[in-house]
Amino acid sequence: MTIWWLILILGFILSGGTAFIYLAINVKRSGAAVKTVEDFQAEAEKDVEHIFNQEFREELRNRGRLHFEKSSVRTLCSCSRICA
């Protein structure tokens, strides 16, 4: 029975090694396109335009206006209390 276990283990090792070599050769052949810095910059700009679209920018402007109005009203109220 020991010889069968040895044959089985060697068979697994051999088939695993063959599969690894086969995959290594196929991955090397497919040769994924090498991306340049310009490709990454173009993708980043595309993502930024997708995230920061016009709707988001308008919402940001509205929040800024609201924040500015609140802070100016607080400033006016605190000045009137001090000056009065």
| pLDDT tens-place values along the chain, 84 residues long | 689 999 999 999 999 999 999 988 887 666 556 778 888 899 999 888 888 888 888 999 999 898 888 877 776 666 555 554
pTM above 0.85, yes or no: no
- Please tell me the predicted confidence (pLDDT) of residue 72: 74
Longest pairwise C-alpha distance within the chain: 103
Cβ-proximal residues to 24 (8 Å cutoff; 6+ apart), any chain: none
Task: Report the pLDDT value the prediction gives residue 83, as an integer from 0 to 100.
Answer: 52
Q: Report domain extents, the chain.
A: 1-32, 33-84
Predicted pLDDT at 62: 92
